[in-house]
Protein backbone atom coordinates (compact mmCIF):
# COMPACT_ATOMS: atom_id res chain seq x y z
CA UNK A 1 0.00 0.00 0.00
CA UNK A 2 2.77 2.44 0.92
CA UNK A 3 4.79 1.82 -2.22
CA UNK A 4 1.66 2.27 -4.35
CA UNK A 5 0.78 5.58 -2.70
CA UNK A 6 4.36 6.74 -3.02
CA UNK A 7 4.28 5.97 -6.77
CA UNK A 8 1.02 7.88 -7.10
CA UNK A 9 2.55 10.79 -5.21
CA UNK A 10 5.60 10.94 -7.48
CA UNK A 11 3.37 10.85 -10.57
CA UNK A 12 1.25 13.77 -9.41
CA UNK A 13 4.29 15.64 -8.14
CA UNK A 14 5.92 15.46 -11.57
CA UNK A 15 2.78 16.41 -13.50
CA UNK A 16 1.29 19.09 -11.27
CA UNK A 17 2.18 22.59 -12.45
CA UNK A 18 1.47 24.65 -9.37
CA UNK A 19 3.28 24.33 -6.07
CA UNK A 20 0.03 24.71 -4.12
CA UNK A 21 -1.48 21.69 -5.84
CA UNK A 22 1.68 19.70 -5.20
CA UNK A 23 1.57 20.65 -1.54
CA UNK A 24 -2.07 19.53 -1.26
CA UNK A 25 -1.19 16.18 -2.87
CA UNK A 26 1.77 15.85 -0.50
CA UNK A 27 -0.32 16.46 2.64
CA UNK A 28 -3.08 14.07 1.60
CA UNK A 29 -0.80 11.21 0.62
CA UNK A 30 1.45 11.60 3.65
CA UNK A 31 -1.63 11.25 5.84
CA UNK A 32 -2.77 8.15 3.95
CA UNK A 33 0.67 6.58 4.10
CA UNK A 34 1.17 7.11 7.81
CA UNK A 35 -2.29 5.76 8.67
CA UNK A 36 -1.97 2.79 6.30
CA UNK A 37 1.12 1.39 7.98
CA UNK A 38 2.77 2.89 11.02
CA UNK A 39 6.05 1.09 10.41
CA UNK A 40 6.78 1.13 6.69
CA UNK A 41 4.75 4.30 6.35
CA UNK A 42 7.31 6.33 8.25
CA UNK A 43 9.98 5.53 5.69
CA UNK A 44 7.89 6.85 2.81
CA UNK A 45 6.65 9.76 4.86
CA UNK A 46 10.15 11.11 5.39
CA UNK A 47 11.11 10.50 1.76
CA UNK A 48 8.06 12.43 0.62
CA UNK A 49 8.57 15.15 3.23
CA UNK A 50 12.18 15.74 2.15
CA UNK A 51 11.48 15.88 -1.58
CA UNK A 52 8.33 17.96 -1.17
CA UNK A 53 9.91 20.50 1.11
CA UNK A 54 12.82 21.02 -1.31
CA UNK A 55 10.45 21.36 -4.26
CA UNK A 56 8.04 23.60 -2.38
CA UNK A 57 10.89 25.88 -1.29
CA UNK A 58 12.43 26.05 -4.76
CA UNK A 59 9.14 26.85 -6.49
CA UNK A 60 8.32 29.54 -3.98
CA UNK A 61 11.94 30.67 -4.44
CA UNK A 62 12.36 31.01 -0.69
CA UNK A 63 15.49 32.85 0.35
CA UNK A 64 18.39 30.78 1.61
CA UNK A 65 21.90 31.61 2.67
CA UNK A 66 24.33 29.73 0.43
CA UNK A 67 27.90 29.29 1.62
CA UNK A 68 30.27 29.09 -1.34
CA UNK A 69 33.28 26.90 -0.68
CA UNK A 70 35.64 27.44 -3.62
CA UNK A 71 38.48 25.09 -4.42
CA UNK A 72 40.38 23.15 -7.01
CA UNK A 73 39.52 19.94 -5.14
CA UNK A 74 42.43 18.20 -6.83
CA UNK A 75 41.31 15.83 -5.37
CA UNK A 76 38.62 16.41 -2.78
CA UNK A 77 39.55 14.90 0.60
CA UNK A 78 38.06 14.37 4.04
CA UNK A 79 39.33 17.73 5.25
CA UNK A 80 37.26 19.56 2.62
CA UNK A 81 34.11 17.68 3.56
CA UNK A 82 34.59 18.23 7.29
CA UNK A 83 34.98 21.96 6.70
CA UNK A 84 31.79 22.06 4.60
CA UNK A 85 29.82 20.12 7.21
CA UNK A 86 31.17 22.24 10.06
CA UNK A 87 30.36 25.48 8.25
CA UNK A 88 26.78 24.33 7.83
CA UNK A 89 26.36 23.17 11.41
CA UNK A 90 28.11 26.03 13.21
CA UNK A 91 26.93 29.04 11.22
CA UNK A 92 23.62 30.31 9.82
CA UNK A 93 24.43 28.90 6.37
CA UNK A 94 21.53 26.86 4.96
CA UNK A 95 23.38 25.15 2.11
CA UNK A 96 27.03 24.73 1.18
CA UNK A 97 27.96 24.74 -2.50
CA UNK A 98 31.38 23.27 -3.17
CA UNK A 99 32.40 25.31 -6.23
CA UNK A 100 34.95 23.52 -8.41
CA UNK A 101 37.31 26.11 -9.89
CA UNK A 102 38.54 25.24 -13.41
CA UNK A 103 41.54 27.51 -12.97
CA UNK A 104 42.52 29.31 -9.79
CA UNK A 105 44.30 32.58 -10.72
CA UNK A 106 46.76 32.01 -7.86
CA UNK A 107 47.64 28.39 -8.76
CA UNK A 108 49.46 26.71 -11.62
CA UNK A 109 47.62 24.25 -13.86
CA UNK A 110 50.36 21.64 -13.51
CA UNK A 111 49.01 18.33 -12.13
CA UNK A 112 45.47 19.70 -12.33
CA UNK A 113 42.92 17.12 -13.46
CA UNK A 114 40.17 18.25 -15.80
CA UNK A 115 37.39 20.16 -14.12
CA UNK A 116 34.86 17.47 -14.99
CA UNK A 117 36.93 14.75 -13.32
CA UNK A 118 37.27 16.89 -10.22
CA UNK A 119 33.56 17.73 -10.24
CA UNK A 120 32.72 14.04 -10.39
CA UNK A 121 34.95 13.32 -7.41
CA UNK A 122 33.27 16.11 -5.44
CA UNK A 123 29.87 14.62 -6.23
CA UNK A 124 31.08 11.19 -5.13
CA UNK A 125 32.61 12.60 -1.97
CA UNK A 126 29.45 14.47 -0.96
CA UNK A 127 27.30 11.40 -1.44
CA UNK A 128 23.70 11.75 -0.25
CA UNK A 129 24.08 14.93 1.80
CA UNK A 130 21.04 17.19 1.50
CA UNK A 131 22.77 20.41 2.54
CA UNK A 132 26.05 20.12 0.61
CA UNK A 133 26.21 20.02 -3.16
CA UNK A 134 28.76 20.29 -5.96
CA UNK A 135 28.69 23.31 -8.27
CA UNK A 136 30.11 23.72 -11.78
CA UNK A 137 29.06 27.36 -12.08
CA UNK A 138 32.59 28.54 -12.95
CA UNK A 139 32.93 26.09 -15.85
CA UNK A 140 30.94 28.44 -18.05
CA UNK A 141 32.51 31.71 -16.91
CA UNK A 142 35.65 33.42 -18.27
CA UNK A 143 38.94 31.97 -17.05
CA UNK A 144 40.80 32.37 -14.82
CA UNK A 145 38.05 32.37 -12.23
CA UNK A 146 37.74 35.49 -10.08
CA UNK A 147 35.44 35.26 -7.07
CA UNK A 148 33.81 38.64 -7.59
CA UNK A 149 32.77 37.65 -11.13
CA UNK A 150 31.26 34.38 -9.89
CA UNK A 151 29.40 36.17 -7.10
CA UNK A 152 27.99 38.72 -9.55
CA UNK A 153 26.84 35.94 -11.88
CA UNK A 154 25.19 33.97 -9.07
CA UNK A 155 23.41 37.01 -7.65
CA UNK A 156 21.93 37.74 -11.08
CA UNK A 157 20.86 34.12 -11.54
CA UNK A 158 19.51 33.64 -8.00
CA UNK A 159 18.37 37.11 -6.85
CA UNK A 160 16.52 35.74 -3.81
CA UNK A 161 19.49 33.84 -2.43
CA UNK A 162 22.01 35.34 -0.04
CA UNK A 163 25.54 34.25 -0.87
CA UNK A 164 28.48 34.06 1.51
CA UNK A 165 32.06 32.85 1.28
CA UNK A 166 33.76 30.07 3.22
CA UNK A 167 37.53 30.38 3.29
CA UNK A 168 40.59 29.36 5.24
CA UNK A 169 42.53 31.79 7.40
CA UNK A 170 45.46 31.61 4.96
CA UNK A 171 43.27 33.07 2.22
CA UNK A 172 42.24 35.93 4.48
CA UNK A 173 45.89 36.91 4.82
CA UNK A 174 46.10 37.47 1.06
CA UNK A 175 42.54 38.65 0.61
CA UNK A 176 43.67 42.20 -0.19
CA UNK A 177 45.16 40.84 -3.43
CA UNK A 178 41.81 39.53 -4.70
CA UNK A 179 40.06 41.32 -7.53
CA UNK A 180 37.63 43.92 -6.13
CA UNK A 181 38.04 42.60 -2.60
CA UNK A 182 36.47 45.78 -1.20
CA UNK A 183 33.21 45.04 -3.02
CA UNK A 184 33.20 41.48 -1.69
CA UNK A 185 33.65 42.74 1.86
CA UNK A 186 30.90 45.29 1.44
CA UNK A 187 28.23 43.01 -0.02
CA UNK A 188 29.01 39.47 1.17
CA UNK A 189 29.64 37.76 4.47
CA UNK A 190 32.88 35.78 4.86
CA UNK A 191 33.14 32.79 7.19
CA UNK A 192 36.72 31.93 8.06
CA UNK A 193 38.05 28.67 9.47
CA UNK A 194 41.57 28.20 10.93
CA UNK A 195 44.14 26.50 8.71
CA UNK A 196 46.76 26.22 11.46
CA UNK A 197 46.56 25.57 15.18
CA UNK A 198 47.80 29.09 15.93
CA UNK A 199 46.29 31.57 13.50
CA UNK A 200 47.84 34.66 15.08
CA UNK A 201 46.80 38.12 13.92
CA UNK A 202 44.53 38.12 10.89
CA UNK A 203 43.48 41.11 8.80
CA UNK A 204 39.81 41.99 8.37
CA UNK A 205 38.67 40.06 11.47
CA UNK A 206 37.26 43.27 12.91
CA UNK A 207 35.10 43.78 9.82
CA UNK A 208 31.37 43.26 10.51
CA UNK A 209 31.08 40.92 7.50
CA UNK A 210 33.90 38.60 8.58
CA UNK A 211 33.28 35.81 11.11
CA UNK A 212 35.63 33.17 12.45
CA UNK A 213 34.20 29.72 13.17
CA UNK A 214 35.88 26.79 14.86
CA UNK A 215 36.62 23.71 12.81
CA UNK A 216 38.72 20.58 13.38
CA UNK A 217 42.30 21.06 12.29
CA UNK A 218 43.29 18.32 9.85
CA UNK A 219 46.72 18.59 8.28
CA UNK A 220 45.65 17.00 5.00
CA UNK A 221 46.41 18.52 1.62
CA UNK A 222 45.59 17.57 -1.96
CA UNK A 223 49.31 17.83 -2.72
CA UNK A 224 50.08 15.19 -0.10
CA UNK A 225 47.39 12.91 -1.50
CA UNK A 226 48.73 13.24 -5.06
CA UNK A 227 52.25 12.47 -3.84
CA UNK A 228 50.96 9.49 -1.86
CA UNK A 229 49.23 8.12 -4.96
CA UNK A 230 52.38 8.51 -7.04
CA UNK A 231 54.34 6.66 -4.38
CA UNK A 232 51.83 3.80 -4.69
CA UNK A 233 50.73 4.19 -1.07
CA UNK A 234 47.20 3.96 0.30
CA UNK A 235 44.97 7.03 0.55
CA UNK A 236 42.29 5.16 2.44
CA UNK A 237 40.67 7.36 5.13
CA UNK A 238 42.23 10.43 3.49
CA UNK A 239 39.51 10.54 0.84
CA UNK A 240 35.99 9.04 0.82
CA UNK A 241 35.86 5.44 -0.37
CA UNK A 242 33.94 6.37 -3.52
CA UNK A 243 36.63 8.91 -4.42
CA UNK A 244 39.38 6.38 -3.75
CA UNK A 245 37.66 3.90 -6.07
CA UNK A 246 37.39 6.58 -8.75
CA UNK A 247 41.07 7.48 -8.41
CA UNK A 248 42.15 3.86 -8.65
CA UNK A 249 39.93 3.12 -11.65
CA UNK A 250 41.03 6.21 -13.57
CA UNK A 251 44.71 5.97 -12.54
CA UNK A 252 44.55 9.69 -11.80
CA UNK A 253 47.86 11.44 -10.99
CA UNK A 254 49.87 8.43 -12.17
CA UNK A 255 50.34 9.42 -15.82
131-168 pLDDT, tens digit each: 999 999 999 999 888 999 999 999 999 999 999 999 99
Pick the closest to residue 238 from 48, 16, 76 (CA basis). Answer: 76
pLDDT reported for residue 195: 81
Q: Are residues 115 and 9 located together in one domain of the fold?
A: no
Assigned domain for 255 exists: no
Position 173 pLDDT exceeds 70 = yes
- Of 86-95, 102-111, 178-187, 189-198, give the lowest mean pLDDT range: 102-111
- What is the DSSP secondary structure assignment for residue 188, as one 8-state letter? S
d(CA 104, CA 1): 53
Q: Are residues 239 and 123 located together in one domain of the fold?
A: yes
Which residues form the domain of 53?
2-60
Number of domains making up the chain: 2
pTM of the model: 0.76
For residue 27, what pLDDT band results from cuts at 50, 70 and 90?
Answer: low
Q: Are residues 240 and 129 located together in one domain of the fold?
A: yes
Q: Are residues 25 and 69 located together in one domain of the fold?
A: no
d(CA 64, CA 130): 14
Which of 60, 84, 104 is where one domain is finished?
60
Q: Are residues 56 and 70 located together in one domain of the fold?
A: no
Q: What is the CATH number of the domain that holds 156?
A: 3.40.50.620
Helices of type H across 16-146: 19-36, 40-60, 78-90, 115-126
Assigned domain for 216 exists: yes
Q: Are residues 178 and 55 located together in one domain of the fold?
A: no
pLDDT tens across 66-85, in order?
A: 999 999 999 999 999 999 99
Q: Are residues 22 and 70 located together in one domain of the fold?
A: no
Contacts of 204 (CB under 8 A, 6+ apart): 172, 175, 185, 190, 210
Q: Are residues 42 and 166 located together in one domain of the fold?
A: no
Q: Are residues 89 and 203 located together in one domain of the fold?
A: yes
Question: Is the distance from CB of 252 to CB of 228 less than 8 angstroms?
Answer: no
Question: Is the distance from CB of 67 to CB of 164 less than 8 angstroms?
Answer: yes
d(CA 183, CA 19): 37
Q: Are residues 207 and 241 located together in one domain of the fold?
A: yes
Question: Is the distance from CB of 48 to CB of 2 less than 8 angstroms?
Answer: no
Assigned domain for 153 exists: yes
Position 30 pLDDT exceeds 90 = no
Amino acid sequence: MCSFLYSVYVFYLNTASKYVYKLVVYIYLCQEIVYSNQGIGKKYFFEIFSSSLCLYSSERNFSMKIGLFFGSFNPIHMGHLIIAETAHSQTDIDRVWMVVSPQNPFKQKKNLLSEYNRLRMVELGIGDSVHIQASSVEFHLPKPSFTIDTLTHLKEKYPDYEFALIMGSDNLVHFHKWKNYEAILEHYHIYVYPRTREIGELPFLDHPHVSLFEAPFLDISATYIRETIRADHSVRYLVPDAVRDYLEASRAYLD
